[in-house]
Structure 1
Amino acid sequence: MTASKRDRQLEVVEICAGAGGQTLGLERAGFRHRVAVELDENAARTLRLNLQEVLGYGEKEAEDTVKVGDVAAPETWDATEHKGVDLLAGGVPCPPFSVAGKQLGANDERDLFAWAIELCGEIQPNALLLENVRGLSANRFTAYRQHVLDRLHEYGYIGDWKLLQANEFGVSQLRPRFVLVALKREFAEYFEWPTPFTEEPPTVGELLEDLMAANGWEQDQVDAWVKRADRIAPTIVGGSKKHGGADLGPTRAKRAWADLGVDAMGVRDEAPEKGWRVPEGVPGPKLTTAMVARIQGWHDIEPPRNSEATVADEFRWRFHGRKTSVYRQIGNAFPPPVAKALGVSIRKALLQEGERHTLLENTDRILDPVYKLLRGFDRPLTIDQIIEKLAKRGTVLEQPDVERRLNHLGHDFAMTVTVRSSGAIAYSLGEFKAFTGQEDHQRHDLFAQLRAKIS
């Protein structure tokens, strides 16, 4: 490979960019943003600010790069201007697949995953990167994931899913993220998932000791807190505008924070001051947004002035907005170190670096055999027929498992159920219910009604 090809600046289009966790990670991996689209105005201001101050974009360049509005609306940006870009990336909304969001999948007005797949087919990037919550890896969504892989194959891509743990890439947090990477065949042969770090990340106490002492809290108090905060953090939860202000998560998460000596009922403006003592019935101090950002993989929101550059500056970031907005921007983000690790792996594949390997799945990769069977038949099948035909293909499923899969399919796909003269019930699979760009889809009305509560 020539030096010019190896040093070439790769470009990325990022959708649902948020406050820039994935943005920063991909930039540090060697990608330059052609456009970043974000719905929330405060997050968009954060992006523009840091494109200039941290990543060296000019003021007009940063303004032109960040587009604000509904990513699926043509008036927000023109996707056709970016055909053939190196990478299409994004962290589409998580609630459609999260337990807290009731796992509505294709029936959730915030679901943009299927739409992003169609966008990939339209603009034909060399690679696609989409990340979401762990819930998308559940059995509930096997057919959804199967549909995604099948569509990508139709568009000329080899796709794969993987559950990545943020703490394996230097982030002091238990944050599983389910990631989809797809590349055109000539690049997919060079792709390898990033290798986890060999070193454990610092504990919450080790990571935040200097910030916890920054406002004058006595060192003996800080030392006692650091000793108690001896593990990595539970998942930071940003939540949505549908729910309340800044706190560190549901009841189970609050208990985990309490074990670390952290009051998870809110976020402080400043670290504990001199003379501050833990109130009775409270496990310890609240965190500040700067502390939460560091746990998420960013570093100080306001780094010391006139200080020499350090390794921490690689993930330095500053946030725009009031405390609740800043907390939400941080909590909803993709940790920058994880995004960088993925970006490095994708960049190597796009530059065709490393060893070329044989692709195991170049056509039909089967995640949900019931979906694949029904999709291939133009007539309804009973459960007994499904079991029989799958057995001939080498897949053995019992009736309860088939019934469970049919139930899951009914959530995300139009399902026609007919009763035969014998009384047997037969099933046929119809259209995918998810929004993929249809002008008459219910998503448009729901989005307009709930616009102020969507984040």
Structure 2
Amino acid sequence: MRSVELFSGCGGLALGLSKAGFSHSMMIEWDEDAFATLLHNKSNKVEHVRHWPISKGDVREVDWSTVEGVVDLAAGGPPCQPFSIGGKHAGPGDSRDMWPEAIRTVRELRPKAFLFENVRGLLRPAFTDYLHWIEANLRAPQLEIQSDESMAEHSKRLQAAVDDHLYDVKILRVNAADYGAPQKRNRVIIAGIRKDLKVALHLPSPTHSHARLLWDQWITGEYWQRHGIAKPRSGPASAADRRLVENLRDRMIAPPGLPWKTCRDAFDGLGIPGKGSLSNHAFQPGARVYPGHTGSPLDEPAKALKAGDHGVPGGENMLVYPNGTVRYFTVREAARLQGISDEFEFPRSWTESMRQLGNAVPVPLAEIMGRAMLGLLNQRAPRRREAA
């Protein structure tokens, strides 16, 4: 299955889609440092990356007519800063808003399906009208906004033109931890599939859960046994988790699915920062706790990696040990929190590398969503019954 990708960043979404079975025909990234990271790993012949057709450029200048053949999937993570809770909240008024370009890509390529990712801030009430416009535009991308038409008027026209809808579209709020990433990363998935394929659009349900992690930690103790350490006598740290554990103990029925993955799970085998020959695993000094920036406990999924001022050089991208001491995540640890393999290297500084990782799509989330889209595209539209 052939795909094109916008806003590739350091490659998290592309890695997940490659693992799911997609072959990239074009990848676009404008940021010089992220592009350098992609080229570095392509030259190192990293699995999947070695075959990527990476281009540096501005998506606003891409001529999609140069893409030959059928495109099965258009994908990307439009810049999140206009909608991020930690940003300036300018939404469509922010020059970095690239949703119109994502829509143009769908309009001009007419892929069989598309898959876009963004921050959960896009779901805030302040952006409700804009989200409705995005959704309606993706349903009928061929109906462009007119020069004398407001966005609200265009949205109404799009929603009314039901017979002109080319795509079925779904919006799904996800937590990456629920899909196997060792990180609590709340995001929005906007996916669509062409209506003429006559395939119902279904997005995958969570595969991992918080409840199952608590079960493995505090009911069976399997989590601690797996890591070769004694179960702490203190029990769960938060009152909410203690209540949930009591409920689990009363019922004694194991929650379905797999447990959330924790920082301890993700960092297994890495060793002490600065020791050994593994790339990007150097100790970074200066971590400290202050109000609102308390780090990630070792035996929970990490808080969402952050790319802005409050993540780097702030206090969020750091690990908290059971004894309360803290340190920054190494770049290699942050890469593992995003599901990126140890052979994939980050050639820039710690700050720049953490920025790229803070903007990345977790590979496990991308892979599961990619496999779902691949499964839909592999379905054959049901044949019409011949008239008797």
Letter in 2 for 1:246: V
> In the alignment, is the contact (CA less than 8 A) between 2:201 and 2:376 conserved in 1?
yes
User: Pairwise mapping of residues 196-345 of structure 1 onto structure 2 (< 5 A)?
Assistant: 196-197=206-207, 198-213=257-272, 215=274, 229-239=298-308, 243=309, 246-247=312-313, 253=316, 260-261=320-321, 283-300=325-342, 302=343, 317-345=344-372
> In the alignment, is the contact (CA less than 8 A) between 1:236 and 1:248 conserved in 2?
no
Indicate the residue corresponding to 1:349 in structure 2: 376
Change (3 A) 1:326 1:81: same
Deviation at 1:131, TM superposition (A): 0.6
Greater CA drift, 205-214 or 81-90: 205-214
Deviation at 1:215, TM superposition (A): 4.6
Letter in 2 for 1:70: D
- 1:36 aligned counterpart, secondary structure: strand
Give per-residue Cα distances to partners, 1:298-320, cap 9 Å, x unaligned. 232x4xxxxxxxxxxxxxx2223
In the alignment, the residues of structure 2 paired with residue 286 and residue 176 of structure 1 have an alpha-carbon distance, to the nearest angstrom, of 21
Indicate the residue corresponding to 1:225 in structure 2: none
Determine which of 131, 151, 164 is the counterpart of 2:137: 151
In the alignment, the residues of structure 1 paired with residue 181 and residue 75 of structure 2 have an alpha-carbon distance, to the nearest angstrom, of 21
Change (3 A) 1:215 1:44: closer
Instruction: Give 1 or 2 for the bigger CA radius of gyration.
Output: 1
- 1:211 aligned counterpart, secondary structure: coil
In the alignment, the residues of structure 2 paired with residue 187 and residue 49 of structure 1 have an alpha-carbon distance, to the nearest angstrom, of 39
Q: Is 1:80 aligned to residue 65 of structure 2?
A: yes
Q: Is 1:29 aligned to residue 20 of structure 2?
A: yes
User: Pairwise mapping of residues 4-19 of structure 1 onto structure 2 (< 5 A)?
Assistant: 10-19=1-10
- 1:158 aligned counterpart, secondary structure: strand
In the alignment, the residues of structure 2 paired with residue 194 and residue 50 of structure 1 have an alpha-carbon distance, to the nearest angstrom, of 30
> In the alignment, is the contact (CA less than 8 A) between 1:16 and 1:39 conserved in 2?
yes
> In the alignment, is the contact (CA less than 8 A) between 2:15 and 2:49 conserved in 1?
no
Deviation at 1:107, TM superposition (A): 0.3
Give per-residue Cα distances to partners, 1:405-427, cap 9 Å, x unaligned. xxxxxxxxxxxxxxxxxxxxxxx
- 2:304 aligned counterpart, secondary structure: coil
Deviation at 1:244, TM superposition (A): 8.4
In the alignment, the residues of structure 1 paired with residue 265 and residue 379 of structure 2 have an alpha-carbon distance, to the nearest angstrom, of 39
User: Pairwise mapping of residues 63-142 of structure 1 onto structure 2 (< 5 A)?
Assistant: 65-73=53-61, 77-82=62-67, 84-142=70-128
Deviation at 1:200, TM superposition (A): 1.4
Number of aligned positions between the proteins? 289
- The CA RMSD over aligned residues, in Å, is 2.8
> In the alignment, is the contact (CA less than 8 A) between 1:188 and 1:349 conserved in 2?
no
Give per-residue Cα distances to partners, 1:365-389, cap 9 Å, x unaligned. xxxxxxxxxxxxxxxxxxxxxxxxx
TM-score where L is the length of structure 1: 0.58
> In the alignment, is the contact (CA less than 8 A) between 1:190 and 1:352 conserved in 2?
no
Q: Is 1:47 aligned to residue 38 of structure 2?
A: yes
TM-score where L is the length of structure 2: 0.68
In the alignment, the residues of structure 2 paired with residue 215 and residue 57 of structure 1 have an alpha-carbon distance, to the nearest angstrom, of 27
Deviation at 1:35, TM superposition (A): 0.8
> In the alignment, is the contact (CA less than 8 A) between 1:190 and 1:355 conserved in 2?
no
Change (3 A) 1:352 1:335: same
Report the identity percentage: 32
Indicate the residue corresponding to 1:452 in structure 2: none
Letter in 2 for 1:341: I
Indicate the residue corresponding to 2:174 in structure 1: 164
> In the alignment, is the contact (CA less than 8 A) between 2:120 and 2:188 conserved in 1?
yes
In structure 2, the gaps of 5 or more residues are: 142-165, 208-256, 277-296, 384-388
Indicate the residue corresponding to 1:181 in structure 2: 191
In the alignment, the residues of structure 1 paired with residue 56 and residue 273 of structure 2 have an alpha-carbon distance, to the nearest angstrom, of 36
Change (3 A) 1:353 1:339: farther
Deviation at 1:355, TM superposition (A): 9.6
In structure 1, the gaps of 5 or more residues are: 1-9, 218-227, 263-277, 303-316, 357-455
In the alignment, the residues of structure 2 paired with residue 196 and residue 245 of structure 1 have an alpha-carbon distance, to the nearest angstrom, of 27
